[in-house]
Amino acid sequence: MRVVVIGGTGHIGSFLVPRLVRAGHEVVSLSRGTATPYVDQPEWEHVEQVVVDREMGDGDGTFPSRIGRLGADTVIDLLCFTPASAAALIRQLRGRGVHLITCGSVWRAGPSVGAPITEDTAPPPAGEYGTAKDAIARLLAAESQAGELLTTSLHPGHISGPGWAPVGPTGNVDPTVWWALSAGEPLTIPGIGAETMVHVHADDVAQAFALAVAARETVSGEDFFVTAADALNVRGYAELGASWFGRTATLETVTWPQFWELTDTDHAQASWEHLWRSHVCSIDKARRMLGYTPEYTAGETVLAAVRAWVDSGGLAVAGPMVV
């Protein structure tokens, strides 16, 4: 098939595009042309690359028609953030026999009231980002139910892997957290450390998208959580991270108001957004309908990210990694 990937050189696309080429598809990668793929693979030599600014094209209304002219059998939209953007693309693709696969987020589910969360039991979304992703997924599903367009939405957890700062043990990307763990210094955490995070390796997300391409008729109108098979809580994640440097985590628990006072505002906000939701998502539906089998545990996912971050010299730590 001819597959158009919007956002092809991003974190997911860097792994997805080579997978699609290896599967025998004709692949067109769309990006702003300002970045190279996170992973350099020879399959990129066989990819048609198109430079386009999605935000600008949505603004002036030219983006949907540009996608329409590419003659795709499948369009994978990794950069859809508003219902209006999704609706414009849907209108362009109706009646063309195209399968539209969109990247959502586990944040389409609100704060957990039980575990694991399934696609059918997800609490109502909270916050602008999660609410938008939920609205896009519902828009796509309704389009398929009306028989207008084949659509599927995939909802990854906290995407990580080489080249990407992972959501850390305190629910943010503050690099000083890793210094503290690598040095055996006390790490301040909010609450008791039982809040959970759902990481997923970018290549596992790419696997799920590639599987959805192959199962277009079967998965039309469906949505799927895509995470590692397990989840990490604050306490366990910190202990795991410290062990990579031969250390033991020393955790100092504080209340959320105290954490806000002690932490940079942006990092504290990110911590709240991740830990307040405290997600654990089931991937049973993705296993059953897509054949999705994540290759990385949550721990392996963040280890790969931290190791690459250290090796690149981008993360200052107190000592060498021992794993």
Give the model's pLDDT for residue 298.
98
Domain assignment present for 25: yes
Give the model's pLDDT for residue 34.
74
Q: How confident is the model at residue 52 (pLDDT cuts 50, 70, 90)?
A: very high
Average pLDDT over residues 263-288: 97
- DSSP letters along 57-110, please? HHHHT-HHHHHHTT--SEEEES---SHHHHHHHHHHHTTTTPEEEEE--GGGS-
DSSP one-letter code for 159: E
Q: How confident is the model at residue 37 (pLDDT cuts 50, 70, 90)?
A: confident
Same domain, 117 and 239: no
Give the model's pLDDT for residue 38.
82
Domain assignment present for 237: yes
- Beta strand 74-77 with 48-51 is unpaired
In angstroms, the CA 218 to CA 292 distance is 14
- What is the domain extent for residue 271? 164-198+230-279+297-311
Same domain, 127 and 182: no
The CA–CA distances, whole Å, from 269 to 104, 123, 260 equal 21, 21, 8
Domain assignment present for 146: yes
Give 165-200 pLDDT, tens digit per residue: 999 999 999 999 999 999 999 999 999 999 999 999
Closest CA to 139 of 77, 214, 200: 77
Give the model's pLDDT for residue 33.
80
Give the model's pLDDT for residue 148.
86
Phi-psi region of 270 (alpha: psi -120 to 50; beta: other; left: phi over 0): alpha
Cis peptide before 116 (omega within 30 of 0): yes
pTM of the model: 0.97
DSSP one-letter code for 129: H
CATH number at residue 170: 3.90.25
User: Residue 35 pLDDT more than 80?
Assistant: no
Give 120-160 pLDDT, tens digit per residue: 999 999 999 999 999 999 999 999 999 989 999 999 999 99
Same domain, 194 and 204: no
Structurally, how many domains does the chain consist of?
2
Same domain, 41 and 131: yes
Domain assignment present for 287: no
Same domain, 148 and 126: yes
Domain assignment present for 82: yes
